[in-house]
Amino acid sequence: MKVFAHRGFSGQYPENTILAFDKAHELGVDGFELDVQLTKDGKIVVFHDQFLERTTNGLGRLAQYALQELKQYDAGQGEHIPTLAELLKAYYLGPQLMIELKYHSARNYQPLVDALVKLLKQFKLKYAPVFCSFNWPALVYLRCQSRNINIAVLHKHKPFLRVLKMAKLVKACAISTPLNEVSSRKVELARIAGLNMYVWTVNSKKQATLCRHLGVFGVISNFPDEVRP
Ligand code: G3P
Ligand code: CA
């Protein structure tokens, strides 16, 4: 079973920072999960929330700032909000990335997809990333932009058969399921549909053991040190 570090080694280091990804890499994880959003000037940054307050010393909505303005803020332990380009430069040889397109308002999903597709063309990554999002129209649009890209359908509180239908529509390779919604039936249905199942957020040995027994393909964890085999 693969272990992906959720926002890097975010259980111990500031989430979605280069430090958190470096620390996860030191553990030998199979992949990094990360969230991406667009700045006001159209740069892709690695950041989870809509607002800066929880994880930085900045104030207000991330999307109202240009990249250079955002760079002044401390994202924890002296780290700055990284751009996706910075992360790709550091980790083009792996591990694999699971890139979540984070939308806090669903109004216009296209600019982020367009920027991602353009940026990815500039890098020769050893392991093809997997793209996921709760915003399914964004995944449909992403698939229209590229036939080869790997898509995982991210879901929560949705009937599982709808998730499988969406996975078929966007020709997904995987689905990404919350821990409290996983079951042996769902793992089996995903397997029959030819989909890998990732489960989040798996933070304890006990939870990881359960996922292993269920035949889950990969877990996404804030504590990858805990859930490694
Ligand atoms: O990609 C799985 C998981 O990260 C989705 O939820 O809120 O942690 O981004 P969230
Ligand atoms: Ca995420």
Which CATH architecture describes the domain 2-227? Alpha-Beta Barrel (3.20)
Residue corresponding to tokens 């504590």: 223
- Rounded to two decimals, the pTM is 0.98
Q: Which of 38, 136, 96, 107 is nearest to 220 (CA)?
A: 96
Distance 179 CA to ligand 1 centre (A): 11
What pLDDT score was predicted for residue 58?
A: 98
User: Is residue 35 scored above 90 in pLDDT?
Assistant: yes
Residue whose CA lies nearest to ligand 1 atom number 4: 6
Number of Cβ within 10 Å of residue 2's Cβ equals 16
Query: For ligand 1, which residues put their CB under 6 angstroms from it?
Result: 6, 33, 35, 48, 100, 132, 154, 176, 200, 220
Distance 71 CA to ligand 2 centre (A): 21
Residue corresponding to tokens 């002296």: 78
Q: What is the pLDDT of residues 128-176, one digit of tens each?
A: 999 999 999 999 999 999 999 999 999 999 999 999 999 999 999 999 9
Mean pLDDT computed over 208-220: 98
User: Is residue 111 scored above 70 in pLDDT?
Assistant: yes
User: Is residue 106 scored above 70 in pLDDT?
Assistant: no
What pLDDT score was predicted for residue 202?
A: 98
Alpha-carbon radius of gyration of the chain: 17
Name the 3-class secondary structure at 188: helix
Q: Kindly give the number of the ligand 1 atom that is closest to the alpha carbon of 6.
A: 4
- SS3 string, 203-216, reads CCHHHHHHHHHHCC
Mean pLDDT computed over 114-135: 98
Residue whose CA lies nearest to ligand 1 atom number 3: 200
Q: Which of 133, 174, 168, 134 is nearest to 150 (CA)?
A: 174
6 flagged as catalytic = yes
User: Is residue 107 scored above 80 in pLDDT?
Assistant: no
Q: What is the pLDDT of residues 56-80, one digit of tens each?
A: 999 999 999 999 999 999 999 999 9
Q: Are 130 and 163 in contact (CB under 8 A)?
A: no
To test ligand 1's pocket by mutation, which of 2, 6, 155 has the most ligand atoms within 8 angstroms of CB?
Answer: 6
pLDDT band at 14 (very low <50, low <70, confident <90, very high): very high
Residue corresponding to tokens 């239908």: 165
